[in-house]
Amino acid sequence: MNITQILFWFLSALTVFSALMVVVSKNPVYSVLWLIFTFFCISGHYIMLNAQFLFIVNIIVYAGAIMVLFLFVIMLMNLNQSSEPKKHRWLRMAGVVAGGCLLLVLVAALKNIDIKKQVAETNTGDIGLIGNLGKVLFNQYVVPFEISSILFLSAMVGTVVIGKKE
């Protein structure tokens, strides 16, 4: 086992564990903090895959902006006590069983795929660098990029419509 493999297994275990903690935690604030931790672990995976731009964007946008917004809303609503009403126990069991079945089906289906011998290159490769991504983004992907501005505009208008006092 070389250092990359050790890192991969360590990060993966940490990611899955913290993702589980998001779902299991009673207190919403803990859930948010575990989710931020999960995002950091995923960012670690991006670094291993040498996707440096996505690494930094993931931390700035997801962990830095989106999750802070979540935390802010939770604090605003004073949800920090674990006052959440529980779903009925059987319903929760059904949810877990359904999810487990989905996991089993997907893993069984994708266990023997034709590309399983292929390797995702780690530590090397320069496609994840900001310069290379930028060149493609502003040449081939400039139309979707502009279209996403419409998406933002509609989200902005919508948020104002919903948030404004009448």
Question: Contact letters (x/-) for another protein, 88-127, by CB under 8 A?
Answer: ---xx-xxx-xxx-xx--xx-xx-xxxxxxxxxxx--x-x
Q: Which helix (H) or strand (E) holds 71?
A: helix 67-76
d(CA 28, CA 35): 10
Least distance (Å) from another protein to the CB of residue 29?
10
Q: Does 2 bind another protein (CB under 8 A)?
A: no
C-beta of residue 47 within 8 angstroms of C-beta of residue 8: no
Q: Does 161 bind another protein (CB under 8 A)?
A: yes
Q: Does 51 bind another protein (CB under 8 A)?
A: yes
Of the CA atoms within 13 Å of residue 53, those in its CB half-sphere come to: 11
22, 70, 112 from 30: Cα distances, Å: 7, 12, 38
Least distance (Å) from another protein to the CB of residue 55?
10
C-beta of residue 45 within 8 angstroms of C-beta of residue 125: no
Least distance (Å) from another protein to the CB of residue 31?
6
* Structure tokens given for 30: 């803990």
Task: Report the residue from 14, 31, 40, 64 that binds another protein according to the rule CB under 8 A.
Answer: 31
Give the contacts of 97 (CB within 8 A, at least 6 positions apart): none
Q: Does 3 bind another protein (CB under 8 A)?
A: no
d(CA 48, CA 55): 10
130-159: which residues touch another protein (CB under 8 A)? 132-133, 136-137, 140-141, 143-144, 147-148, 150-159
61-80: which residues touch another protein (CB under 8 A)? 61-62, 65-66, 69-70, 73-74, 76-77, 79
Q: Does 56 bind another protein (CB under 8 A)?
A: no
Total residues in contact with another protein, by rule CB under 8 A: 96
